[in-house]
A and B are shown apart, each in its own frame.
Chain A
Amino acid sequence: MKRNIPLILAFLAGLLMIVSEFIPHRPFSNMVETLEEWFMIIAGFSIVLGLASLLQMNYQKISTKAENWGYHLACVIAFAVMVIIGALWGMEDQPGLLGQGEKIISWLGKKPFDYTYDNALVPLSATMFSLLAFFIASAAYRAFIIRTFESNLLMISAVIVILGRTGFGTMLTSWIPENYRFWQLPVLADFIMQYPNTAAQRAILISASLGIIGSSLRIILGIERSYLGGDK
């Protein structure tokens, strides 16, 4: 019974979503929005679960003085600070327990929550994102090492695309007559991106879409149930 009820619900919800995709008449027309709202409500409740997990895990590390426990302490302190300043003065236009906090806004320029968010979280996120530049360089270096016929092809097309997207590539092949324009690097780069690259991406997308249909059907029919934890 514990397993059957979720399976019945999954079947009904899946069927409703499929039907509402093809029927524009109410009640099917707004079914997707309604179910999405339900999902958001359930997700809202589950945030408590996430927070409990976060605090439990960090508390455990701190209390046992596990290796690098200082990082966990920093995490809990940061969490507590954000909760407290958010509760006291609110965020953006929303007031907190102490109102809008005009005095503190005149001092900081914005609410403490927004100030901390903009000056701590946003730069930290940007730092993580900027790591991509270095990782792309190291990954590209490894990918472009010529070992096999395929990696040779990859290297050649990568060089064409990289050069074709720069002014230097344009300059290198600008002498090629208009009748043989195809061999100019920018045109060749566009060709590679537009045809072989798009074709390969679409092949992956089509097969993934078929996989999604198959997986969805397995879930709707209750054949695939390991996401619920098991078969019984």
Chain B
Amino acid sequence: MKRIITILFILSSFTWLIAYETPFFRAKDRPYDKGDAIILEWKLPAAIDSVQILKADSLGVYQPLFIPTEGETSFVDQDLSYDTDYQYRLLAFSSTDADSLQLSAYAVTKQNWFYLDKLAYLLMLIILSAAIIYYILAAKRGKEFFIRRISGLDSMEEAIGRATEKGKPILFVPGVSELGDIQTLSSLSILSQLAYRAAEYNTEIIVPCRFSMVLSAAREVVKEAYLKAGRSDAFREESIFYLTDDQFGFVAGIDGIIVREEPAANFFLGSFYAESLILAETGLSTGAIQTAGTANAHQLPFFVVSCDYTLIGEELFAASAYLSRDAQQVGSLKGHDFGKLLVIVLILVGVALEIAGISWLKSFLMGAGA
């Protein structure tokens, strides 16, 4: 009998040990980041009613940091400094128990050498870059590539011809973004080709700019184009001018130019926002031949409705290669096409895997590799 009671006692002790949840509160550096976050995790007995997390400030005084909602068991403290020791305290209150629970934890933020959650992006970038470089090298070796017609760019000659016939200027707006925007750079590349042809036809080109940096680059681009065309004498610096940094002031200025000067051809190429329709509709009212292009998808419908030709998304970036017909640049366009193929394959495989209930590819691509 004594033996049975002893066994039962031992068994019940084990059961109690299993059933009892040891409360814990720990802090750890978030892995694969720039040392700006600490992950706090905790587990508390079910009887706890409310929890508060405190953080020690520079003087060591604990200040309230976060009040978790019911069921929450982790928190990420962000915007921290690297290589710094952070101390935390968790206070848990229970109405049934007389004593509150107080747990402490600390961690040191560390900078890491790789964002593991960006591994998928890195792989994609390497594959795409390798494909683009491969096609550029192939083009350099003399391989010829076919590129489909882009009517918006083919129309450039027509637009310049019409402006020349009518004796009216060409208006070129390089978007409303700064020089740091890749769309502005692509726009300036197109401007280079357009200015070259305008110089050949001896047609005036007007380039209003929203930012001084863009003005400086646009002037250089047009000047070089006129020089290349052997018409440096026809280059007029004052045709490329600064209007204003203010978005709608800039629009008002361009609308004024459109209405007063009545350019025969308008080019709106670059980054555009709310002003896209105002510009395009004003241009339409004067009967100008209009070509627009932007990678801002939400502005494309406005341009499609009001312009004769619209460069959609990637066509803006392909324009320079398309117009220059430079073998290396055309080769890089083939690299884009490879990228598109890769994306299509990934989408199809991803959809098939998701339907089959396998999510690792989606998680990997979404950056859950960390």
B281 contacts which of A126, A135, A217 (Cβ < 8 Å)?
A: A135
- Render A147-182 as a binary contact track against B, CB cut-off 8 A, 1 for contact: 000000000000000000000000000000000000
Can you identify 16 A-B contacts, CB atoms within 8 angstroms?
A21-B121, A22-B122, A24-B115, A26-B82, A29-B111, A42-B213, A131-B278, A139-B277, A139-B302, A143-B301, A211-B315, A214-B132, A214-B339, A221-B133, A227-B192, A229-B221
Q: How far is the CA of A215 from the CA of B247 in the complex (A)?
A: 26
Known A46-B216, A139-B305: A217·B343 in contact at CB below 8 Å: no
Overall SS of chain B's interface: helix
Interface stretch, picked from B3-11, B142-150, B156-164, B222-230, is B222-230
In order of increasing CB-CB distance, the 4 nearest A-B pairs are A50-B212, A211-B317, A229-B224, A211-B314
User: Contact at B192–A226, with CB atoms within 8 Å?
Assistant: yes
User: Contact at B192–A24, with CB atoms within 8 Å?
Assistant: no
Q: How far is the CA of A130 from the CA of B113 in the complex (A)?
A: 50
Q: How far is the CA of A127 from the CA of B106 in the complex (A)?
A: 56
User: Contact at A212–B132, with CB atoms within 8 Å?
Assistant: no
Nearest A-chain residue to B256, judged by Cβ: A71
User: Contact at A132–B122, with CB atoms within 8 Å?
Assistant: no
Given contacts A49-B242, A139-B305, 7 further A-B contacts (CB under 8 A): A39-B178, A49-B215, A125-B249, A128-B251, A204-B313, A226-B188, A230-B228
Q: How far is the CA of A67 from the CA of B262 in the complex (A)?
A: 13
Q: Which of B35, B178, B314, B335 has the most CB of A within 10 A?
A: B314
- Band of interface residues on B: 35 or more
User: Contact at B313–A208, with CB atoms within 8 Å?
Assistant: yes
Nearest B-chain residue to A203, judged by Cβ: B313
Q: Is B114 an interface residue (CB 8 A)?
A: yes
B115 proximity list for chain A (CB < 8 A):
21-24
Q: Is A53 an interface residue (CB 8 A)?
A: yes
User: Contact at B336–A210, with CB atoms within 8 Å?
Assistant: yes
Q: How far is the CA of A188 from the CA of B155 in the complex (A)?
A: 39
B326 proximity list for chain A (CB < 8 A):
223
B122 proximity list for chain A (CB < 8 A):
22
User: Contact at B278–A135, with CB atoms within 8 Å?
Assistant: yes
Q: Is B99 an interface residue (CB 8 A)?
A: no
B221 proximity list for chain A (CB < 8 A):
226-229
Which residues of A in the span 9-54 have a Cβ within 8 Å of any Cβ on B? 18, 21-26, 29, 39, 42-43, 46-51, 53-54
B297 proximity list for chain A (CB < 8 A):
201, 204-205, 208
User: Contact at A208–B314, with CB atoms within 8 Å?
Assistant: yes
User: Contact at B125–A213, with CB atoms within 8 Å?
Assistant: yes
Query: What is the minimal beta-carbon distance from A115 to any residue of chain B, in angstroms?
Result: 17
Known A39-B180, A132-B278, A204-B300: A24·B114 in contact at CB below 8 Å: yes
- Render B223-240 as a binary contact track against A, CB cut-off 8 A, 1 for contact: 111011000000000100
Known A21-B118, A207-B314, A226-B324: A54·B228 in contact at CB below 8 Å: no
Known A132-B274, A229-B220: A23·B113 in contact at CB below 8 Å: yes
Nearest A-chain residue to B223, judged by Cβ: A229
Query: What is the minimal beta-carbon distance from A70 to any residue of chain B, in angstroms?
Result: 12
Known A138-B281, A204-B297, A213-B125: A24·B213 in contact at CB below 8 Å: no
Nearest B-chain residue to A54, judged by Cβ: B242
User: Contact at B114–A22, with CB atoms within 8 Å?
Assistant: yes
Q: Is A206 an interface residue (CB 8 A)?
A: yes
User: Contact at A219–B339, with CB atoms within 8 Å?
Assistant: no
Query: What is the minimal beta-carbon distance from A16 to any residue of chain B, in angstroms?
Result: 14
- Band of interface residues on A: 35 or more
B317 proximity list for chain A (CB < 8 A):
208, 211-212, 214-215
A105 proximity list for chain B (CB < 8 A):
none
Q: How far is the CA of A76 from the CA of B216 in the complex (A)?
A: 21
Q: Which of B111, B186, B313, B315 has the most CB of A within 10 A?
A: B313
Q: Is B168 an interface residue (CB 8 A)?
A: no
Q: Is B266 an interface residue (CB 8 A)?
A: no
Q: Is B154 an interface residue (CB 8 A)?
A: no
Known A207-B314, A211-B295: A216·B278 in contact at CB below 8 Å: no
B281 proximity list for chain A (CB < 8 A):
135, 138-139
Q: How far is the CA of A31 from the CA of B273 in the complex (A)?
A: 29
Query: What is the minimal beta-carbon distance from A52 to any residue of chain B, in angstroms?
Result: 8
Query: What is the minimal beta-carbon distance from B349 to any residue of chain A, in angstroms?
Result: 15
A1 proximity list for chain B (CB < 8 A):
none
Q: Is A136 an interface residue (CB 8 A)?
A: yes
User: Contact at A23–B306, with CB atoms within 8 Å?
Assistant: no
A24 contacts which of B33, B193, B224 (Cβ < 8 Å)?
A: B33
Q: Is A124 an interface residue (CB 8 A)?
A: yes
Q: Is B177 an interface residue (CB 8 A)?
A: no
Q: Is B365 an interface residue (CB 8 A)?
A: no
Query: What is the minimal beta-carbon distance from B298 to any residue of chain A, in angstroms?
Result: 8
- Render B333-351 as a binary contact track against A, CB cut-off 8 A, 1 for contact: 1011001100100000000
B324 proximity list for chain A (CB < 8 A):
226
User: Contact at A24–B313, with CB atoms within 8 Å?
Assistant: no
User: Contact at B335–A128, with CB atoms within 8 Å?
Assistant: no
Nearest B-chain residue to A201, judged by Cβ: B297
Which residues of A in the span 190-213 have a Cβ within 8 Å of any Cβ on B? 201, 204-208, 210-213
Q: How far is the CA of A139 from the CA of B292 in the complex (A)?
A: 15
User: Contact at A212–B220, with CB atoms within 8 Å?
Assistant: no
User: Contact at B182–A212, with CB atoms within 8 Å?
Assistant: yes
Q: How far is the CA of A201 from the CA of B296 in the complex (A)?
A: 10
User: Contact at B212–A49, with CB atoms within 8 Å?
Assistant: yes
Q: How far is the CA of A80 from the CA of B353 in the complex (A)?
A: 65
